[in-house]
A and B are shown apart, each in its own frame.
Chain A
Amino acid sequence: MQPIFVPAPPKSSFNKNRAPSDLLIGQLRHFQHVEHKSDIAIDAATALDIHTEAGAARYILALTRAIRQQSAKPVGIAVVPPRKPLDTIGSPGVGDGLTIAAVGDGPGAASERPVTKKLTHGKKRVKKNKRKKS
């Protein structure tokens, strides 16, 4: 049987400036929850710059590495109160502006000052990029 060709997406498909989807916003909320409940300190600029997929990925990268480095000392987690569903029929856009609380006082410093940032859905200009692989 001959190998079946699987085409790559065009370079124009890549858009790291795309606004985060609900899925990504949910993932960010989980990371922020862990950040607040732990002693992990994330650079403030990284914690605030989460309005694009690339920015969210930088924050997630920092948290993931920090969590794995702290693997020897698990931290307790509290229940997060239920929030209003992001999407409500008849009211599109309800919850689109998700309040994200992030913490950071610079690299390596313990966090004391909460920084609140609001994530909103929105169109970003597509920027063409080269890709490494899928």
Chain B
Amino acid sequence: MALDRSLPGIQALQHIVVLMMENRSFDHMLGGLKATHDYIDGLTGDETNLDTTGAQIKVQPLAEYQSQLDPDPNHHFAAVNLQIFGDPQNGPPLPATMSGFVKSYFNQQQNTKHSADILYYFSPDKLPVLSTLATEFAVFNRWFASIPGPTICNRAFAHYGTSFGQVSMDVFYEGKKYKAIYDRLLAAGHTCKLYYYDEASSTMEVVNLLQNEPDVFGTFEDFETACDKNVLPAYCFIEPNYTDHDSPDGDGELIANDQHPDHDVRAGEQFIAMVYNKIRQNPKLWANTALLIVYDEHGGIYDHVPPPACLPDGFVAQPADTGTLDAFHFDRLGVRVPAILVSPWVAKGSCINDVFEHACIPATVTDYFIGEYPDRSPREIAANTFLGQLSLETQRTEDDCPSFAIEGGS
């Protein structure tokens, strides 16, 4: 549906900011909210998987911030097949029962007890930032990873609207058929930046963007400065810190805040709050910025919603690449991930039930800033856009929007 540009929130909108976190499923992070907010498609507490002994294991609100998902749960294509369809080698027409998560995690250590941890989810009080934003603004009930696979191919959908046939972490290629959203925006005279946390964490878009479009990049400190000086680009994509490392400027040590297992989830909560506060505390930005917080993929962690079919992408990954018996036609989505849209023009307690995936990001940004742009992947052209949620007639007041007090930070 075409965006209603007469909406006050749309007329005010000047900036779209996307923060993409790492490797957590919707139910793992937000599933516990269903108990108090029944419009959120989370967990009833009765969802189960069979373990390798045949015992029924229930989901439980016992997720811990760190040390529980070590080793990192497998989330490569074949493992995700097992998680969704109960069979690592075959996908559709098998039904998507979401019944193989415990068995998949068992395969990594042959530890039956530990394999049940993959069903654990956070009680909302343990995630004050994500839980608050999900209930105070708009939560997506149906935002899925673009591919049932790992990080880099999924993140590619956020930049290009496709992964060019990749289902793994492999390097992409030159001569791409479709331009990145950054190239499109710059050619149309708009500003944009991809902010990585710092030069030691850098970006996952090393080959295709960092090397060829280095001017598009900045650090998180640059993002903060741009916010303070009211020179934020029209479109910003933020990457978290992927490693525990010494600060490049020699001033202390920096903890990973991407929430990728086995990094501490609290550091990511603080990072999300930092991004939110930076926009929220500047009245010149708050009224005219839409912030999307989304995760790249589920990281092998349980979710109860079967991923739907989608428009084929025009590419094919061969069995040698998927690690299964079947070629993959990019005709179904990955596992559901948390996604939240934040703006003072979004009604409190909003819920979006349409299907979204990462190609919706360049689709939305292109639609809003550029308009007609036919040379995009079929997936992106068909993708839903999300700015229609900025639908309030009047902006929410200061008192009506949350703010965060970050321990030890700004």
Contacts and interface: CB of A to CB of B under 8 A. Distances in A.
Interface stretch (B91-99, B177-185, B269-277): B269-277
Interface in B13-29: 22-23
Interface centre among B78, B132, B199, B244 (most CB of A within 10 A): B244
Contacts of A15: 244
Contacts of B46: none
Nearest to A53: B243
A123 to B, nearest CB: 9
B255 interface: yes
Contact of A9 (B152, B246, B266, B401): B266
A46 B409 CA distance: 31
A86 interface: yes
B253 A132 contact: yes
Interface centre among B74, B202, B212, B257 (most CB of A within 10 A): B202
Contact of B264 (A9, A75, A82, A85): A9
A29 B269 CA distance: 29
A65 B199 contact: yes
Contact of A90 (B88, B204, B406): B88
A1 to B, nearest CB: 6
Contact of B132 (A4, A7, A31): A4
Contact of A8 (B247, B251, B408): B408
A56 interface: yes
A83 B321 CA distance: 8
Interface string B246-265: 11100111111100111110
A18 B244 CA distance: 8
A33 B208 CA distance: 11
A98 B152 CA distance: 17
A14 B408 CA distance: 15
Interface in B159-186: 168-171, 173-174
Interface in A99-134: 121, 129-134
Given A16-B246, A31-B206, A134 B405 contact: no
A7 B273 CA distance: 11
A129 B245 CA distance: 10
Contacts of A57: 200-201, 243, 245-246
A6 B404 contact: yes
Given A16-B253, A23-B242, A85 B76 contact: yes
Contact of B78 (A5, A31, A74, A85): A85
B266 A7 contact: yes
Interface in A53-67: 53-54, 56-58, 60-61, 63-65, 67
B78 A67 contact: no
Main secondary structure of the interface of A (DSSP, over half): loop
Interface string A17-37: 010011111110111011000
B245 A53 contact: yes
B358 to A, nearest CB: 16
Contacts of B206: 27, 30-31, 33-34
A132 B243 contact: no
Contact of A86 (B76, B204, B241, B401): B76
Given A23-B260, A67-B214, A77 B207 contact: yes
Contact of A24 (B210, B243, B253, B261): B243
A57 to B, nearest CB: 3
Contacts of A64: 199-200, 202-203, 210
Given A23-B22, A30-B206, A3 B254 contact: no
A129 B322 CA distance: 40
Contacts of A56: 243
Contacts of A24: 242-243
Interface of A: 1, 3-9, 13-16, 18, 21-27, 29-31, 33-34, 38, 53-54, 56-58, 60-61, 63-65, 67-68, 70-71, 74-80, 82-90, 92, 121, 129-134
Interface of B: 22-23, 65-66, 71-72, 74, 76-79, 81-82, 88-89, 104, 107-109, 128-129, 132, 150-152, 168-171, 173-174, 199-204, 206-207, 210-212, 214-215, 217, 241-248, 251-257, 260-264, 266-267, 269-271, 273-274, 320-323, 399-409
The 4 closest A-B pairs by CB, nearest first: A132-B252, A26-B169, A57-B245, A89-B88
Given A1-B400, A3-B402, A22-B72, 12 more contacts: A4-B402, A9-B66, A9-B266, A18-B262, A23-B150, A30-B204, A56-B243, A87-B76, A89-B89, A89-B323, A92-B107, A92-B108
25 contacts: A1-B399, A3-B402, A4-B402, A6-B269, A6-B270, A6-B405, A7-B407, A8-B266, A9-B66, A23-B260, A25-B169, A27-B202, A34-B211, A53-B256, A61-B199, A61-B248, A64-B210, A76-B174, A82-B320, A85-B76, A89-B79, A89-B104, A90-B107, A92-B107, A134-B267
